[in-house]
Amino acid sequence: MRRLQTAKPQSTFLVNCDADGQHRFRGEADSLWLNISQQVRLHNASQMWDSVAVECRQLSSGSLEVRVIVFNPDWDEPLQIASIQSRPDDPDCLTALGCNFNHVAI
């Protein structure tokens, strides 16, 4: 379940990672690229494949964007499956998060 962070971070994005309850990472950043790899069988061998990436960046408009990108060895190009945007510095914006789930080849 997602908790609302009440303290404003020093940067535009905050990441929390917990792997197996033993390895933890928490950090703030103005941009972020996170890769998640998983074991697959390719060419008759088991290997790691970057399957999902999360990109966090500030757009030239000032909006903040989080993109979820999926990679598949059977595809010619990656596929963006989500774009989530916020405009924290726009007092006229009445939507906290704008979500676009259209699939976009990138």
> Could you report the per-residue pLDDT of 49-106, keeping only the tens digit for each?
999 999 999 999 999 999 999 999 999 999 999 999 999 999 999 999 999 999 999 9
pTM score, whole prediction: 0.84
Count how many domains the chain has. Answer: 1
| Residue 94 included in any domain | yes
Cα separation, 22 vs 14, in Å, equals: 20
| Residue 79 included in any domain | yes
Residue that the structure tokens 């596929």 belong to:
79
Give the 3-state secondary structure percentages of the chain, helix then strand then coil, rounded to 5.
0, 55, 45
Domain carrying residue 73: 30-105
- Give Cα separations from 76 to 40, 42, 81 (angstroms): 17, 15, 16
| Residue 8 included in any domain | no
